[in-house]
Structure formats: C-alpha cells, structure tokens
Structure 1
Amino acid sequence: MKNSLLAAAFALFSIAAFSQSKSGFGIKGGLNYNQNGDLIASVGDAAENIVQGSDGKVGYHVGVFGQLQLLRLYLRPELIYTKTQSAYDLNGGTKYDISKLDLPVLVGAKLIGPLHVFAGPAFQYILNNDLEGFNINDAEKDFTVGLHIGAGVDLGRLGLDVRYQRGFSENEAEFIGDNITPEISGRVDSRPSQVVFAVSLKL
C-alpha cells in the first residue's frame, strides 16, 4: 500500500512537471494543531470504561507539491511527512504521537486577486504511533482516507494557506499499561482532526 501511495504521488507530480508554464512544483512546510479521536480505557477489572476526548497539541509537516493550472482552476497533489501530537488526561497526562505520510489531491479555484480556495481527498499512511507510558499496537488500518478543505493566498512564488483536515472513519489501536498497577488497557482512535498552517515555495 505504501508503494502504491508513492507511485500515485510520482505520477501526479510528473503531470504537473510537464504541464503548461503557469504550472509547476515546489516545497512546503508548516504547523499542525491536532486532535485525535476518543481514548477508551478500563482500569483493573473495572467493568466501566473511561472515555476521554483528546487535547490538541502542535505538530509539524514538510513536503513537496505539484500544481497543474487549468484557467481559474488547478489540480494540486501533495506528498507530506506529518508529525502530530495530542494528549489525554490519563495516568497523570499521556501524549499520543503519530508519524505519517499524507497525499492530499486538491482541486482549487482562484477567487479575487491572490485569494484561492481548495478541497479534496487526503490519503494517509501511518508510519508509527506511540502512546506515552503504554505499549501500543499498530493502528487497525495503515491506510485511511480523509478530507482537506481550506483557503490561501499566492504572493508571487510564495504561498500561504490554512486548511482543516478530518479523517472519515475510526482507526483504533489497542494499548496496555507498561508496569502500571492497577493495570490500564484500552484503545485509542488515531483519526485526525486538525487545523494546518502552511507556507509553500514554487521552485
């Protein structure tokens, strides 16, 4: 699946690279304010589950993009390495870190002047997940799909945008306490809900 993701990204970037002169490719990076899905845990032999929503934390992303300009519309595939972090009020405070590859395929439209809006599916491949203080399994699905929607401005070769990303379906990982008494176990939803601030540069 990872190879398929990379192959799709290469094909999309190739289209942009050989397109008309207003199109092109570049690099990008920025900050992510992320919240993952609920954490559901039980302590010892308790029958009642503890359900907690996550607190948002700041992460980052870096990547490349291609852009195919079609009059006032454009197609923009991106390949991004993303590091996110969220937190749960469990065991005195627990951080949940995820590293992943994102492939958004965005369709955008120019509005007034440098302003444009965009939306599209985002394909996600989870590379690693870590729940502080716990032994955690891999997420149920390595590969998931979500949505990006946002707006930006182009200032020559420099671009600024803000977008919202949301995963479509739950993608849980099971965990168990690491030398904790009484024992804590449960599952956590790795589905992202994040606001992304990005700076891009056309090369």
Structure 2
Amino acid sequence: MRATILLLVTCLLGIYSSKAQEFAIGAKGGLNYYTIGDINSRGGSFQTGHPDELFSPNKELGYQFGGYFIAEYGKFFLRPEIVYLSSKNSYEFPDKKAYWKTSRIEVPVLVGFEIFDPVSIYLGPGFNFYNDTTLDGVQVTSYSDGGPDLDTTTVNFSFGVMVRFGRFGVDLRYEQGMKETQEELLDIVYSDYGVNLADLRSYKPNMLRLSVFIDIFRTNPDDLDGFFSNLFKSNKCHCPYN
C-alpha cells in the first residue's frame, strides 16, 4: 500500500506540474499536540472492591519535519507532502508518570485556495504509516499481549490555514483520524505505577500542528523550456545531449 500511495503522488506531480503556472519544492518543520484516549484502571484487579479510576492523557509537545511540492494554478494549489512526526503523551498514574510515544510517516495530499494575499486555506487526506507505539509499564501477561495494539496504516483528514511571506511561511493545521480505535485491555506493572489491569478507551486520534516552511526551489515551468509539458511525450527524450 505504501508503494501504491507514493506512486499515486508521483503521478499527480507529473500531471499537474505540466499545467501549473508556478511550482515550488520546500522543507518544513514544527511542533504538534496529539490527542489519544483515556485509561480506565480496574481497581478490583489489585484490591477487591476498590473503585475504578479514570486517567486522561496529558498532551506533550511533539515535533515534525519533512518536505513538500506545491503546484499553483492562479489562486488554487495542489500540495503533496512527506512528513515525519514524533508525538508524546503522558498519564499521571498514582505512583509514577507513564509516557506514551509514537512516530509515523505521513503523506498528505492537500488542495488549497488563496483567499487573499498572503493567507490561504486548504484541506485533504493524509496517509499514515506508523512505527511502534509504546506506553511505559505495559507488560505481556495471560491477561494482555502487551500493547497498545494499533493499526499501522491509517487515513486522516486535515484542514488548515497558511500565511506566506515570500519564500517563507507559517502553517497551522488540525488533523482528525477517520477511524476510531478499538478498546483494549492493558496489563501495567502495579509495583511501579499503582495501576494493574486497565482499559484503553476507544478514541479518534487528532492533532494540532504548527509549522514553518521555506521554498528551497521555486520557478515558473515556462523557464524550463517546456520540460514538464513534454515529459510524458514519446517523441522527445529531453536528454542534455542530442
């Protein structure tokens, strides 16, 4: 699936750059806040009759960096990206704080419109490929196979606003997962964290992201003597030597 998505993005770049009035390749980086689900501690798992206790996650700052291609058609634009994101949350358990960590590669395909100079709005899907997601203190026992066990490939939907100042810009984005996770039983080391069996509640992951970007290369395709407009024609090879 990863190869299919990358091939799709490559085709979009080839097709749309040939018709663009202007295009650019750039780099971006920034910070993010990631929202995940509550954890319900089963009090009876470590003391008979003890009440359950609910722990909500604290949002910790994560980071992101990557690159983008943008093809502009008047006030409209197409902006595929490839971004690495690292996110972190924490739970204030009775005896010790437990950290939730995850990272992923995201390939968003965004469509936008300049509402007035220098402000633009955009939206579009993002295709995610997760690395391992970990929560401190989770163990493999007869009650649980570890975890959190989350889908490694997901799709989200994003919308946002960007402000451009020449080659530089600022981008504020909200991202919502398209699918809710399944509730999961976790077995946590009680002697360290004061929580034993606990339910990770189902949730739709979402993220608030702030980044800055810079166009490393920006040009008008006419300056390339029709390279992109003829790239897929069989009668020219566009080799440097003929």
Q: TM-score, normalised by structure 2?
A: 0.72
Equivalent in the alignment of 1:177: 188
Equivalent in the alignment of 1:132: 136
Q: Shift of residue 131 of structure 1?
A: 0.5
For structure 1, the 5+ residue unaligned runs are none
**1:32 is aligned to 2:42:** no
Q: Shift of residue 17 of structure 1?
A: 5.8
Computed over aligned residues only, the root mean square deviation of the Cα atoms, in angstroms, reads 2.6
Q: Hey, what's the Cα distance between the residues in 2 that align with 1:175 and 1:40?
A: 10
As a proportion of its length, which structure holds more strand? Answer: 1
Report if the CA contact (8 A) 1:79-1:101 is conserved.
yes
**Structure 1 51/6 Cα, relative in aligned 2: closer, same or farther at 3 Å?**
farther
Q: Hey, what's the Cα distance between the residues in 2 that align with 1:11 and 1:149?
A: 23
Equivalent in the alignment of 2:177: 167
Superposed CA offset, 1:66-121 (max 9, x none): 11212211111111110001122225322111111112211111011111111112
Residue correspondences, number: 203
Superposed CA offset, 1:42-66 (max 9, x none): 2426696544332211000011111
Equivalent in the alignment of 1:105: 109
Q: Secondary structure at the match of 1:163?
A: strand
Q: Which deviates more, 30-39 or 97-106?
A: 30-39
Sequence identity (%): 24
Q: Hey, what's the Cα distance between the residues in 2 that align with 1:116 and 1:159?
A: 11
Q: Hey, what's the Cα distance between the residues in 1 that align with 2:179 and 2:41?
A: 20
**Structure 1 114/90 Cα, relative in aligned 2: closer, same or farther at 3 Å?**
same
Q: Secondary structure at the match of 1:199?
A: strand
Q: Shift of residue 184 of structure 1?
A: 3.0
Q: Which deviates more, 175-184 or 149-158?
A: 175-184
Report if the CA contact (8 A) 1:42-1:186 is conserved.
yes
Q: Shift of residue 191 of structure 1?
A: 4.3
As a proportion of its length, which structure holds more helix? Answer: 2
Q: Hey, what's the Cα distance between the residues in 2 that align with 1:120 and 1:198?
A: 17
For structure 2, the 5+ residue unaligned runs are 140-145, 217-242
Equivalent in the alignment of 1:88: 91
* AA in 1 matched with 2:137: G
**Structure 1 185/77 Cα, relative in aligned 2: closer, same or farther at 3 Å?**
same
Q: TM-score, normalised by structure 1?
A: 0.85
* AA in 2 matched with 1:84: S
Q: Hey, what's the Cα distance between the residues in 2 that align with 1:15 and 1:139?
A: 39
**1:144 is aligned to 2:154:** yes
Look at both structures and tell me which one has the larger radius of gyration over its CA atoms. 2
**Structure 1 147/164 Cα, relative in aligned 2: closer, same or farther at 3 Å?**
same
